[in-house]
Amino acid sequence: MRRRVVVSGMGCITPVGKTIEDMWASLMACKSGIDWITYFDATRFPTKFAAEVKNYDLGKYIPDPERFSACGRNIKFAIGAAVQAVNDAGLDDCSSLDPSMFGVYLGAGEGAQDFNRFMGIIAESRKGDEVDLGEFARLGLLRLNGENELQQEPNMTAGHLASLFNAQGPNLNCLTACAASSQAIGEATELIRRGDADVMISGGAHSMIHPFGLTGFNLLTALSEHNIQPQEASRPFDLNRDGFVLGEGAGILILEELDHAKKRGAQIYGEIVGYGSTADAFRVTDIHPDGRGATSCIKMALKDAGLNTDDLDYINAHGTSTKVNDQIETLACKRALGQDAYSTPVSSIKSMMGHLIAAAGSVEAITCLLAIKKGVLPPTINYETPDPDCDLDYIPNQPRETRKVRRCLSNSFGFGGQNVSLIMSEFAA
């Protein structure tokens, strides 16, 4: 018999709230976290806004934040979210756990390069393009940069969390673009199901709000350029959508084998019952026009959960606010669910917090579990003009109270043709 996996703790750092409670309150108030970029001068970029995490203080979560001074924002976000999740799960003292059965599986993105410092040192140089390593060393670029370079690596986030909580079990990180943290949750679930771990810290963290990140997505023409009212720029499924908005943050879940959670009297938010993962096997920058990968991914998650197409009460869409993605995700939902797609509410919280890239799926999974717990569905804000190609129920502009939320589907689709679907269910003994 397959071991069951439940969620016993959650934590988040997002542009609309740095705790689970604050994030949920913002979603219910239809509050946008999107505004003008403050981290650097973006006035010459085609996109001048993003969803930043404002006034983040790692010292609120750990007593010695200075030990992580060399780390990027992504790692600091992950630590804050993980401390919240571990405490929420009643695991403040992780010494009660068997460390060999306690692991970490993240979908955490790479850290930001120290772009501003690099450019400042180049500006100091009198040799221009002829700067050599000796000149870089003299100007300080290579001084004490070994650890800084190490912190750029995506797997460092998982390593830091393992060290903080003495998690000596499986320690992994996958970086499958925008599907990463959803895939990490799915794979961590599989580790527990097959008995390789009892407890897993899972989710993701990422920040690409820096000149390199903004430049790259602008060159891909993926970002909104609605430089008038930033709060109105992210408008998933609306006819006038023109691209996604960069966000940043972290979402961490404590996944636990059911009997292990029950023995210690843990709270249970819900159960991970379905996981699907496929590839489009198409162009790496485009979703397949027939939505074949996304369709098969949703079907795979339903099969894994043992559910029918009419068993879903809510779909948390990938819903990026790009023309093609929203259209194809709508098509995939209809092909996977048939007529039941029209009676299943759908929304995208990216309309409020932007796209957290690798961390997006984990925060959206948390949102699904909160919807199950509270019986309210978050809205898609900025939905004003229906798109004939996007003809589902997108919960426009206001949260929706509902009689019962039992099972939620969360979709995550990434560059490279990565597709992941998770199904969260209310816990039933």
Looking at 355, 368, 390, 408, which residue is catalytic?
355
355 is catalytic: yes
Instruction: Compute the 3-state secondary structure of the chain and give helix, strand, coil in percent, each to the nearest 5.
Output: 40, 20, 40
Report the C-alpha gap between 6 and 262 in whole angstroms.
Answer: 10
**Cα-flanking dihedrals φ and ψ of residue 58, to 5°?**
-60, -25
Residue 101 CA neighbour count, 13 Å, CB half: 15
Please indicate whether residue 206 is annotated as part of the active site: no
Does residue 318 have an active-site annotation?
yes
Catalytic residue among 210, 318, 368, 390: 318
Distance between the two ends of the chain, CA-based, in angstroms? 15
Phi, psi of 69 (to 5 degrees): -65, -25
Q: How far is CA 83 from the centre of its chain?
A: 17
CA distances, 239 to each of 229, 243, 342, 345, 358 (Å): 17, 11, 18, 18, 26
Burial class (CB in 10 A: 0-12, 13-18, 19+), 370: buried
What are the phi and psi torsion angles at 251 (to 5°)?
-135, 125
d(CA 33, CA 18): 12
- Residues listed for the chain: 429
Q: What is the C-alpha to C-alpha distance for residues 129 and 420, in angstroms, rounded to an integer?
A: 44
**Dihedral of alpha carbons 377, 378, 384, 390, sign:** negative
| Residue of 12, 178, 333, 390 with catalytic role | 178
Measured in whole angstroms, the distance separating CA 310 from the mean position of its chain's CA atoms is 27
Q: In the chain, what is the greatest distance between 2 CA atoms, to the nearest angstrom?
A: 71
Question: Which residues are marked as active site?
Answer: 178, 318, 355
